[in-house]
Structure 1
Amino acid sequence: MGALRALLLATARHGRLVLIAGLVAGILLPGIAGMVRGVLPELVACMLGVAALRIGPTAARGSLADIHISLWLVAAYQLLLPLVLAAVFLAFGLGGTLATAMVLMAAAPSISGSPNLTIMTGHDPAPALRLMIAGVALLPLTVAPVFLLWPIFGSFSAIALASGKLLLLIGCSSAVAFIIRHRFFPQPGVETLGVIDGVSALLMAVLVIGLMSALGPAIIQTPGLVGLTLLAAFAINFSLQIAAFMLTGGRGHERSRVAWSIIAGNRNIALFLVALPAAMTDPLLLFIGCYQIPMYLTPILMRPLYAGRMEAR
Structure 2
Amino acid sequence: MMGGLLRLLSRHARLCLIIGLAAGLLFPTFKTWLALWLPVMVAALLTVTALRIGHKAARGAARDLRWGLGAVAVLQLALPLAFLGLLHALGLANTPVALALVLVTAAPAISGSTNLALLLGLDAGRMMQVIVLGTATFPLTVLPVLFLSPQIDTPSDILTSAALVLLVILGATALGFFLRAVFYPNPSTAQIQTLDGASVLAFCVIVVALMAPLNAALRAAPGQVALWALLAFAISYGLQAATLLALRKTSLHAVAGPLAIGAGNRNIALFRVALPPDVLAPILIFIGCWQLPMYLTPILLPQLYRKALSDG
TM-score by length of 1: 0.94
Alpha-carbon distance in structure 1 between the residues aligned to 2:205 and 2:284: 17
Match of 1:48 in 2: 46
Match of 1:159 in 2: 158
Structure 1 counterpart of 2:85, one-letter code? A
Change (3 A) 1:29 1:282: farther
Once the two structures are superposed, the pairs formed by residues 219-238 of structure 1 within 5 Å of their partners are: 219-238=218-237
Match of 1:205 in 2: 204
Gaps in structure 1 of 5+ consecutive residues: none
Note the C-alpha offset of 1:83: 0.5
**C-alpha RMSD over aligned residues:** 1.7
1:87 aligns with 2:85: yes
Match of 1:59 in 2: 57
Once the two structures are superposed, the pairs formed by residues 1-313 of structure 1 within 5 Å of their partners are: 3-62=1-60, 64-94=62-92, 95-153=94-152, 155-308=154-307
- Is the 1:154–1:277 Cα contact (8 Å) retained in structure 2? no
Note the C-alpha offset of 1:301: 0.8
Alpha-carbon distance in structure 2 between the residues aligned to 1:149 and 1:278: 19
Alpha-carbon distance in structure 2 between the residues aligned to 1:306 and 1:206: 26
- Is the 1:49–1:174 Cα contact (8 Å) retained in structure 2? yes
Alpha-carbon distance in structure 2 between the residues aligned to 1:69 and 1:283: 36
Equivalent residue of 1:79, what SS?
helix
Note the C-alpha offset of 1:47: 0.9
Alpha-carbon distance in structure 2 between the residues aligned to 1:282 and 1:16: 32
Alpha-carbon distance in structure 1 between the residues aligned to 2:307 and 2:25: 33
- Is the 2:31–2:209 Cα contact (8 Å) retained in structure 1? yes
- Is the 2:248–2:308 Cα contact (8 Å) retained in structure 1? no
Equivalent residue of 1:30, what SS?
coil
Note the C-alpha offset of 1:222: 0.9
Note the C-alpha offset of 1:309: 6.9
Note the C-alpha offset of 1:49: 0.8
| CA deviation string 1:81-103 (max 9, x = no partner) | 10011112222222222321221
Note the C-alpha offset of 1:155: 4.1
Alpha-carbon distance in structure 2 between the residues aligned to 1:310 and 1:33: 38
Identity of aligned residues (%): 42
| CA deviation string 1:59-108 (max 9, x = no partner) | 21215442211100100110011001111222222222232122111000
Q: Which 10-residue stretch deviates more, 71-80 or 207-216?
A: 207-216
Equivalent residue of 2:290, what SS?
helix
- Is the 1:153–1:277 Cα contact (8 Å) retained in structure 2? no
Note the C-alpha offset of 1:220: 1.1
Q: Which 10-residue stretch deviates more, 68-77 or 30-39?
A: 30-39
Equivalent residue of 1:39, what SS?
helix
Count of equivalent residues: 309
Note the C-alpha offset of 1:303: 0.8
Q: Which 10-residue stretch deviates more, 24-33 or 231-240?
A: 24-33
Gaps in structure 2 of 5+ consecutive residues: none
| CA deviation string 1:241-265 (max 9, x = no partner) | 0001111112244442211111110
TM-score by length of 2: 0.94
Alpha-carbon distance in structure 1 between the residues aligned to 2:306 and 2:20: 24
Change (3 A) 1:199 1:283: farther
Structure 1 counterpart of 2:232, one-letter code? A
Change (3 A) 1:92 1:310: closer
